[in-house]
Copies of this chain bind each other. A is one copy, B any other.
Amino acid sequence: MQTIDPNSTRGETWLARANLRPTRQRLLLADLLVGDGRDRHVTAEWLHDAARRSGDRVSLATVYNTLRAFTEAGLVQEITVDGTGSYFDTRVDDHPHFYWEDDARLTDAGTQPMEIVNLPAAPEGMEIAKVDVVIRLRAKG
């Protein structure tokens, strides 16, 4: 019987699920992303800073490469909301987002499943890969 270390297990399992080699850097980033089981929407920049804050050091290029690897493995999904920068979402199903224009933050929108009536049908020979819904918010007033 082995003791479970709550600090690293979650990220480790997560990486294993995608057959990604558990290197020091990947474990660190994985734990920052899913260590507490909460969904996250991060930018490469944010994740790089978070790694630093945690004391460890990872190069920015590696953060990008790693996020790309996670995306290709289906562990996260990439969301682009305005030309400058992508967000990576640890929740990978198709769901709507809030984009807070004032502070350039992305969060999940609501909790209830959303439904689109009269969703345009895919043209002949095409199929719908995904429907991106981004609700842009601004301060009222």
Contacts and interface: CB of A to CB of B under 8 A. Distances in A.
Interface string A98-125: 1011000000011011111111111101
A4 interface: no
Report copies per complex: 2
Contacts of A32: none
A138 interface: yes
Residue with the highest number of chain B CB atoms closer than 10 Å, among A82, A126, A134: A126
A131 B127 contact: no
A18 interface: no
A127 B109 contact: no
Contacts of A125: 139-140
A132 interface: yes
A129 interface: yes
A22 interface: no
